[in-house]
Amino acid sequence: MSSFKIKHLVLAAVVVPLSLGLAACKKSEEGKDALAASATALPKVAPPAGKAWTDVVDTTADGGMIMGNPNAPIKLIEYGSLSCPHCAKLAQEGFAKLTGDYVASGRVSLEFRSFAIHPQDVPLTVLAGCAGKETFFPLAEQIYANFDAMMERMQQPGATEAAQKAMSVPGKPNFPGFADAMGMTEFFAARGVSVDQAHACLSDTAKVQAVAKNSETWGQSGIDSTPTLLINASKIEGNTWAELEAALQRAGAR
């Protein structure tokens, strides 16, 4: 069963103020790359003593998570869904090089804004941040690296029905039960987030509503597909790793 089907089975039962369905996971996006090419390559920037830039992680005022030099001259923003196969492909092809080369150079910062387009994005986002900001990117990368297996687990017989039942009590959405049914708590427990810790995070209404509110705000601002990629506030054409890397190099990360 596809995540699209899960969305229609479960979304109506989510009674916290989730304005989801504002975006879709798309392979490509038409439009002109407005980013001007840099005439020269930008110099690398040394990280703080005893650290790598990939160790520097924080939250942003706009609801994202940022990795790297906060003053990097090239600021990359990805609006991504943790249940989007095209976002997963982008990460599988480029995350290691993006972080290991471009972010590590101090020339590029990466801000990820987790855009909930399916109900499963809400608990996935909460759980990725459950153990603290330092583990958000490694856990998000693990979701994408194991994407097909996770989606297959969510499609096992009875999983969707159990997830729907967990969300069926009006006014009392049971996100811990939803995550259990989808195999999420098991997945994160194998990566350092205990079941009790996961349940506590998912029972925190403020965390859940923040994911929904951020997604609503971004959708209203015009973001309508995932992944959507911006460099220095300019939307780049395309959303594959090859297209993103070319844009980073045009911006001076070469």
Domain containing residue 168 = 3-33+50-250
Determine, yes or no, domain membership for 181.
yes
Whether residue 43 lies inside any domain: the answer is: no
Q: Which two tokens stand for residue 109?
A: 């910062």
Q: What is the pLDDT of residue 10?
A: 38
CA proximity to 18, closest of 218, 154, 210, 226: 210
Cβ atoms of 23 and 223 within 8 Å: the answer is yes
SS3 state at 76: strand
Query: What CATH number should be reported for the domain holding residue 198?
Result: 3.40.30.10
Q: What is the pLDDT of residue 171?
A: 77
Q: Is 110 part of a structural domain of the chain?
A: yes
CA proximity to 94, closest of 76, 106, 120, 116: 76
Parts of the chain with a pLDDT under 70: 1-23, 27-39
Q: Is residue 41 part of a domain?
A: no
pLDDT digits (tens, 9 = 90+) for 184-238: 999 999 999 999 999 999 999 999 999 999 999 999 999 999 999 999 999 999 9
Q: What is the pTM of this model?
A: 0.88
Q: How many domains does the chain have?
A: 1
25 beta partners = 226
- Cis ω on the peptide bond leading into residue 227 (within 30° of 0)? yes
Give the pLDDT score at 50.
Answer: 94
CB 124 within 8 A of CB 184: yes
Q: Is 54 within the bounds of a domain?
A: yes
Asked if residue 42 belongs to a domain, the reply is no
Predicted confidence at residue 172, as pLDDT, reads: 82
